[in-house]
């Protein structure tokens, strides 16, 4: 009991330090300044005492609390670095291939399965580390009105089947632009999700890799007239949209092709 009283005494004495006294005096002066200002401005004093002003203060307080919580959450910035469409030749008939080479009428209406390869650079912009646990994707028909692109959140949109695949063993990077099947060495694709699996993304550290999406039973006309949205899902189930700046595709590396592997 005596020890408890001693601890309480030390705590009370610590409140009367020089810094504590200065802080109390500073806040007392501020409160007195506010009171004096309200006494000299009756209209402002009337406004402050209204329920509307109290409601505004309440909303502002909740907004500050929400902002503080939001700032503490992870913020993943991800952007497109490259993109290639690869057909699965075994799903496309020989007639469709010949029609495409000769560009016969309706050549782009043959259905087949395609692989959508997208290279992404992701980094954490906050001081709160997190891991990436999944990917969300939406492939839809692009819509325009009077030449302006309509946003994807508008209703009555046409969505194509598209799913994420983690297997990269069937494809490789081929550097030759003249002949696909020569003796040039093959380079395996680096999976982004495999690289960062279980790895916390920290502030300013970038992670670059590929994502693969399967698009089954789609025509080339629909595929070329579509747009894709990708979100990275973190451990807190937050969705981080992958962005693409207008004109960024001009700087993408086009010195290689992604082909089906021979091995």
pLDDT of residue 178: 46
Q: Is residue 182 domain-shared with residue 110, that is, in the same domain?
A: yes
> How many folded domains does the chain comprise?
2
Task: Give CA–CA dist 49/47, Å, rounded.
Answer: 5
pTM for this entry: 0.71
Q: Is residue 180 domain-shared with residue 246, that is, in the same domain?
A: yes
Q: Is residue 16 domain-shared with residue 129, that is, in the same domain?
A: no
Strand 132-141 and strand 226-234: the pairing is: antiparallel
What are the structure tokens assigned to 235, written together? 């451990």
Domain containing residue 203: 76-260
Residue bearing the bigger pLDDT, 60 or 45: 60
Mean pLDDT for the stretch of residues 44-68: 71
Residue 185's φ and ψ, nearest 5 degrees, are -65, 145
**What is the pLDDT of the chain when averaged over all its residues?**
80
Are 82 and 161 within 8 A, CB to CB? no
The residue among 72, 96, 129 that closes a domain is: 72
Q: Is residue 26 domain-shared with residue 126, that is, in the same domain?
A: no
Q: Is residue 30 domain-shared with residue 122, that is, in the same domain?
A: no
Q: Is residue 133 domain-shared with residue 238, that is, in the same domain?
A: yes
Mean pLDDT for the stretch of residues 234-242: 93
Residue 142's φ and ψ, nearest 5 degrees, are -70, 135
Alpha carbon 204 to chain centroid, angstroms: 15
Are 113 and 163 within 8 A, CB to CB? no
Convert the pLDDT of each residue in 99-149 to its tens digit: 777 778 888 888 899 999 999 999 999 888 999 999 999 999 988 777 777
The residue among 38, 72, 106 that closes a domain is: 72
Residue bearing the bigger pLDDT, 188 or 124: 124
Q: Hey, which of 1-10, 139-148, 164-173 has the most confident mean pLDDT?
A: 164-173
Mean pLDDT for the stretch of residues 221-236: 92
The residue among 53, 72, 91 that closes a domain is: 72
Q: Is residue 65 domain-shared with residue 112, that is, in the same domain?
A: no
Q: Is residue 48 domain-shared with residue 88, that is, in the same domain?
A: no
pLDDT of residue 200: 93
Q: Is residue 13 domain-shared with residue 98, that is, in the same domain?
A: no
> Three-state SS for 236?
coil
Residues whose CB is less than 8 angstroms from the CB of residue 181 and which lie 6 or more positions away in sequence, other chains included:
262
User: Is 78 buried (19+), middle (13-18) or exposed (0-12) by CB count in 10 A?
Assistant: buried
pLDDT of residue 202: 92
Q: Is residue 53 domain-shared with residue 108, that is, in the same domain?
A: no
Neighbours of 228 (CB within 10 A): 20
Alpha carbon 208 to chain centroid, angstroms: 14
Are 125 and 76 within 8 A, CB to CB? yes
Residue 94's φ and ψ, nearest 5 degrees, are -65, -35
Task: Give CA–CA dist 56/68, Å, rounded.
Answer: 18
Q: Is residue 132 domain-shared with residue 17, that is, in the same domain?
A: no
Task: Give CA–CA dist 106/89, Å, rounded.
Answer: 18
């Amino acid at each position: 009991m005596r020890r408890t009283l001693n601890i309480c005494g030390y705590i009370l004495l610590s409140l009367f330090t020089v810094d504590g006294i200065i802080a109390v005096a500073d806040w007392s002066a501020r409160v007195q300044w506010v009171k004096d200002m309200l006494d000299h401005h009756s209209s402002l004093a009337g406004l402050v005492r209204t329920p509307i002003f109290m409601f505004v203060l309440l909303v502002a307080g909740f907004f500050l609390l929400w902002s503080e919580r939001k700032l503490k959450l992870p913020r993943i910035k991800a952007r497109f670095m490259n993109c290639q469409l690869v057909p699965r030749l075994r799903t496309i008939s020989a007639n469709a291939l010949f029609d495409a080479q000769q560009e016969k009428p309706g050549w782009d209406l043959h259905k087949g399965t395609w692989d959508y390869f997208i290279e992404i650079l992701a980094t954490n912009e906050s001081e709160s580390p997190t891991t990436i646990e999944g990917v969300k994707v939406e492939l839809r028909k692009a819509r325009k009105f009077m030449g302006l692109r309509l946003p994807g959140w508008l209703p009555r949109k046409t969505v194509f089947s598209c799913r994420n695949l983690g297997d990269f063993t069937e494809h490789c990077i081929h550097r030759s632009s003249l002949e696909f099947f020569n003796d040039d060495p093959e380079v395996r694709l680096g999976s982004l999700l495999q690289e960062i699996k279980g790895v916390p993304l920290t502030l300013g550290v970038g992670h670059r890799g590929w994502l693969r999406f399967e698009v089954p039973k789609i025509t080339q006309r629909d595929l070329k007239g579509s747009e894709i949205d990708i979100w990275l899902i973190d451990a807190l189930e937050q969705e981080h949209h992958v962005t693409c700046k207008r004109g960024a595709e001009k700087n993408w590396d086009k010195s290689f092709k992604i082909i089906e592997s021979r091995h």
